Structure 1
Amino acid sequence: MTTINSAVRLTPVAQIAARPAQFVSTSMPQAATVRPSTVVSLGQQITDVDTQTYTANGTTREAQSQYVWERSGLDKLSMYMASAVQSSSTAARFQGLGAALLEQLAANGGQRIAQSGLAVNDSTATEPLLLGLQQARLREYATNTVTFNLTSASGATVTLGLYSSADGLAVDADVQGGTLTSDELKGLAALAGSFQSALNGLTKEPPQLQLGALVKLDPSLFTGLQMNAKLETASGAQQTFDLQLNEDTRSLKLQGPSGEVKMNFDTQGGALLGSQAQRQAAVANYLTQFDAAQKRGNGDAQLMALFKDAFSQLNSVDDASPRPANHDVALNKASRLLLSGLADFDASISQTEQKINPMRPEEVDHFDYKVSQSTQRQGNAANLTVQQDQQANLKAAWHQGLNPLVDLVLSRDNESQNYRYREVDDQSRSTTRLGFSNNSLVEASATQQASQQERVRTYQKGTLQSDETNRASADQSRDLLHMLDALLDQDRAARRTGAASTLEDQLAGLRHLWLLQSAPGQIAA
């Protein structure tokens, strides 16, 4: 028989049965209390615990884990942890926990937070020194770890950590190197939802990117962010995530069992950034290129979805990012007419290689796609030259069964060797140039190039039947000076009469003439 006092508090010596959780409310009449099959003790005094618990069919159940808590107190964070620690999945353990940790850190003015629930059994010693070592190991050797660092405009650094494993659950939060201002504390609390959303996305199966406001920091409050995660998937494989943002650069890396996504951006101080409409058009064009690459190279759709989400969300940083003081001067606007309007970047997606044909191990299934943009500016404001290069490269190979209604299962038996082995090697590039002399536009040109190659080897019962290679290419160079001069003259005339500018709309219908196109057929004659 277990007797439970009604005072509810979380103490370092409290022990919590693994599941299911039942909390005893202080408002519940003692006579109405129902004896649960398992007991959650939050500082409640346990006078006696049954040594055995019986299942529905009368057999004894193995002893369940109990938990020793690091800190006493009854708060929202500890209540979240008391419930979450009983869950077996990482997603359930971290559900709501990141937001609760961030909110509590902001609410208590940035004072340090440390809490953990350590799994113990009846034979585990509860000597304080031993418990301290075990609590430290819980954080150091956690199966699932998420850390979050935020640099404030006042110079302080916010650090958070969430740690989960079979041994329990732990969190840490602190502010180092200074004190957060009241506005920074409010801004910190406002990020709680986005931090939790990012956690929820990363712990999904398959993972998703849900970065939200984390990539749109208010520069008057926060100047840098770093988020790192090491998570175990349902299959037991490891997945890692790294995100870094500051005033000038940002990077993301996501690596898991299916492959790797990497991106790096450089805004060059905001000098390259165009209008929102210009950037949205460029992002849409790139997403179209990404979809085409995934389809042509038989890439993993889920991994490409992560790649596209990362690209879209990291470019959204620039929706509210600061521009240089003279960013809206007429010459500076004109110097970006043929540019994408996006920050320079390099990005790649690589699937994990597979050798599915034991008879021909040299035939490796893979998908590797790289895309980048680089911009050079030379000269002063009156005599300026700007060149932007965009390029993409796709290399992929995969096996395809001859009968689409039958799954391809290759073995050392010739009877199984009925397939096509396809290899793709594509290149595309676009270059735009703008030149000014004495504040006048004197050069405007664009060059687009694309080439595609596919080799297909067909085997029947292990014998090569055909080996074919198909190639296609196109390139186009254009002098756009007269076209841009005419559009700029029309825009100046409209402004003089007070009419609305139509320059953006007119350019929108022409950008396919200079933005990156990956297929030869997309390069217009």
Structure 2
Amino acid sequence: MTSITAVQTLAPRVALAQPPTALTSAADTLTAAANVPSSTVSLGQPTIASEPQTYTRQGLLPGQMRYVWENDSQDKLATSLLTAFKTSSTAGRFNGIGAALIEQLVRNGGSGISQSVFAVSDDSPINPAVLKLQQTRLRENPDNGVSFSLTTASGATIRLSLASGEKGLAVSAEVDGGELSDDELRGLGKLADSFQSTIDGLNAQPPQLKLGALAKLDTTLFSSLQMNAKLQTPTGEQRFSLDLNERTRKLSLEGPTGEVRLSLDTHDGELLGSADQRKAAIANYLTQFDAAQHRGRADENLMGLFKDAFSQLNSLDDTRPTAVQKPFSMTDKDRALLSGLADFSASISETAQRSNPMRQDETDSFTFSASQQTDIQRQGLQDYSVQQRQQSKLDASFHQGANPLMALSLGSDRESQNYSYHVIDDQASSTTRLGFDKGKLVEASATQQASQKERILTYVNGDLKSDVTTPKAVTQSRNLQSLLKDAFEQERIAQRDRGDSVLEGLLQGQRSQWWLQTDPAKIAA
């Protein structure tokens, strides 16, 4: 490990200074050098001359490092920066830094922060102008960078930046458009650990999504949040984007194995059902995602990120703000056939691979998308209809070996060409509709549809032996008016006699009749 003997600081002049942690001073090093003999002689042994140890004028041995700071500070943030810089690779230098930056900003009462540290291995004098240029370049074009922007309900904007390169680490924090109140500072402090866990998760191998409190933003304090990251990992570059505001929630992940995208339309809080209803809807969607992953042989880690993104962004609705009073407001009865979730579009796409050198037109690929769209038509306070459509699409292709006990290894020789090539094309949808006339339920219907098509090409020693396409398709329409009327009547009696709601329990076991189902066999059942 490279030893450290001196620290230089630019604040604003260059000078030797004590670092934020205990380091050996240049004077101590020079004293130690004076006590080291240039040669030694042992009686009875051949004379061995030790090479004299030469020190630079900074008191460094050849190859030793010194650290140059932007500002002379001994706060906890500087300590965290030095620790991360000394103990981590370029990709892992944000370890603990995100949380430390937020915590320091809170301790400063919102006052701006700018700090950087660079490693220098030679004894050349530091030019302040050159150092300033290095700091600017690092912040504008880092090997690894994270930016974070948080707008308060009062209108102030908090901006954080983390940047690392081979020889430097820089952070900054500023508040524009106003000062932070005590409540806002406390709210910001509560995000520190989640900000750090998000960074750490993206840096993990394989990457993980750990949004924590970032996915449960306190809307009484903050109106929007943006976070972007570019990280160099051992497997390749990972890019991340998160955008939360009053109307939308968007997340994207792009990495070597593929990409994940999710967008929620949250401007209409009327669609949001009870916590139990949303929990059941999320579970149903995750089941469909798992089925697609299994059928299309998708990468499990990438699908895990997709599922985590869907679950965590929908968890934002666990605490719903009190709805603004409107002439018309939906009730739990109006949402009986809905998912209870905000409308969304979501997709996962795996990076295509060409694993067969003899047939480059055959790819291993996986693309899956799902969406939900709700339409409310009102003719009056008691005359209206609600329609929700859920849909999904899967396109996938993969190679499978003829012998399940042996790993498939496709080569340029015909003897390796014993396999089947699968091409998947699936679609599914579910449409529910509720209609009310003068407040009375006059329509309740659901239509589920699912189709699966799989083409299998089988090769033996490179020769095509079979090409078979198997299609499956089912459409099921149901009139749910009697079911709902009975459930609504039991709910009315329970509310009257006990003041309790039983509607969710009555509908829970029936929802497979109208929610999205990608397997035709399960619709037919």
TM-score over 0.5 for the pair: yes
Q: How does 1:323-472 map to 2 (within 5 A)?
A: 323-326=322-325, 332-379=331-378, 380-472=380-472
1:241 is aligned to: 240
Quote the Cα distance in structure 2 between the aligned partners of 1:321 and 1:456: 48
What's the CA shift for 1:269?
A: 2.5
1:110 equivalenced with 2:110 (yes/no): yes
Quote the Cα distance in structure 2 between the aligned partners of 1:62 and 1:395: 59
Quote the Cα distance in structure 1 between the aligned partners of 2:460 and 2:346: 39
Asked if the contact 1:417–1:459 (Cα under 8 Å) also holds between the matched residues in 2, the reply is yes
1:296 is aligned to: 295
Which residue identity is paired with 1:178? Answer: G
Quote the Cα distance in structure 2 between the aligned partners of 1:384 and 1:490: 23
Asked if the contact 1:423–1:455 (Cα under 8 Å) also holds between the matched residues in 2, the reply is yes
1:328 to 1:120, Cα distance in 2 relative to 1, 3 A: farther
Q: For 1:271, what is the secondary structure of its paired residue?
A: helix
1:229 is aligned to: 229
Query: 1:243-279, CA deviations, whole angstroms, 9 ceiling, x for partnerless residues?
Result: 0000121000000000000000002320110000000
Asked if the contact 1:23–1:40 (Cα under 8 Å) also holds between the matched residues in 2, the reply is no
2:481 is aligned to: 481
Quote the Cα distance in structure 2 between the aligned partners of 1:98 and 1:22: 18
What's the CA shift for 1:301?
A: 0.3
Quote the Cα distance in structure 1 between the aligned partners of 2:17 and 2:86: 9
What's the CA shift for 1:444?
A: 0.8
Q: For 2:485, what is the secondary structure of its paired residue?
A: helix
1:207 is aligned to: 207
Asked if the contact 1:103–1:189 (Cα under 8 Å) also holds between the matched residues in 2, the reply is yes
Q: How does 1:161-200 map to 2 (within 5 A)?
A: 161-200=161-200
Asked if the contact 1:425–1:453 (Cα under 8 Å) also holds between the matched residues in 2, the reply is yes
Asked if the contact 1:67–1:168 (Cα under 8 Å) also holds between the matched residues in 2, the reply is no
Asked if the contact 2:91–2:231 (Cα under 8 Å) also holds between the matched residues in 1, the reply is no
2:512 is aligned to: 512
Which residue identity is paired with 1:185? Answer: L
Query: 1:219-258, CA deviations, whole angstroms, 9 ceiling, x for partnerless residues?
Result: 11001000000000113x2110000000121000000000
Quote the Cα distance in structure 2 between the aligned partners of 1:176 and 1:375: 38
1:455 to 1:4, Cα distance in 2 relative to 1, 3 A: closer
Which residue identity is paired with 2:257? Answer: S
1:157 is aligned to: 157
1:142 to 1:3, Cα distance in 2 relative to 1, 3 A: closer
1:225 to 1:487, Cα distance in 2 relative to 1, 3 A: same
Which residue identity is paired with 2:84? Answer: A
1:318 equivalenced with 2:303 (yes/no): no
1:231 to 1:16, Cα distance in 2 relative to 1, 3 A: farther
What's the CA shift for 1:22?
A: 11
Quote the Cα distance in structure 2 between the aligned partners of 1:44 and 1:385: 83
Quote the Cα distance in structure 2 between the aligned partners of 1:487 and 1:258: 47
Quote the Cα distance in structure 2 between the aligned partners of 1:287 and 1:472: 22
Q: For 2:313, what is the secondary structure of its paired residue?
A: helix
1:327 to 1:321, Cα distance in 2 relative to 1, 3 A: farther
1:351 to 1:64, Cα distance in 2 relative to 1, 3 A: farther
The farther-off stretch of 267-276 and 257-266 is 267-276
Quote the Cα distance in structure 2 between the aligned partners of 1:123 and 1:315: 55
Q: For 1:333, what is the secondary structure of its paired residue?
A: coil
Asked if the contact 1:269–1:324 (Cα under 8 Å) also holds between the matched residues in 2, the reply is no
Structure 2: runs of 5 or more not aligned? 37-49, 54-60
Q: For 1:71, what is the secondary structure of its paired residue?
A: coil
What's the CA shift for 1:284?
A: 0.1
The farther-off stretch of 301-310 and 125-134 is 125-134
Quote the Cα distance in structure 2 between the aligned partners of 1:15 and 1:360: 64
Number of equivalenced pairs: 498
Root-mean-square deviation (Å): 2.8
Quote the Cα distance in structure 1 between the aligned partners of 2:450 and 2:475: 6
The farther-off stretch of 387-396 and 178-187 is 178-187
1:91 to 1:319, Cα distance in 2 relative to 1, 3 A: farther
1:413 to 1:184, Cα distance in 2 relative to 1, 3 A: same
Quote the Cα distance in structure 1 between the aligned partners of 2:170 and 2:238: 20
Quote the Cα distance in structure 1 between the aligned partners of 2:206 and 2:16: 34
1:122 to 1:392, Cα distance in 2 relative to 1, 3 A: same
1:16 to 1:446, Cα distance in 2 relative to 1, 3 A: farther
Query: 1:117-167, CA deviations, whole angstroms, 9 ceiling, x for partnerless residues?
Result: 112231544111111111111212211000100000110000001111102
1:32 is aligned to: none
1:473 to 1:72, Cα distance in 2 relative to 1, 3 A: same
What's the CA shift for 1:407?
A: 2.4
Quote the Cα distance in structure 2 between the aligned partners of 1:164 and 1:232: 10
Query: 1:357-412, CA deviations, whole angstroms, 9 ceiling, x for partnerless residues?
Result: 12111101100000000001111432111110000000000111112233222222
2:259 is aligned to: 260
2:491 is aligned to: 491
Compute the TM-score of the two structures, normalised by the length of structure 2: 0.89
2:57 is aligned to: none
Quote the Cα distance in structure 1 between the aligned partners of 2:231 and 2:327: 45
1:273 equivalenced with 2:272 (yes/no): yes
The farther-off stretch of 395-404 and 304-313 is 395-404
Quote the Cα distance in structure 2 between the aligned partners of 1:108 and 1:44: 34
Quote the Cα distance in structure 2 between the aligned partners of 1:303 and 1:519: 22
Q: How does 1:85-100 map to 2 (within 5 A)?
A: 85-90=85-90, 92-100=92-100
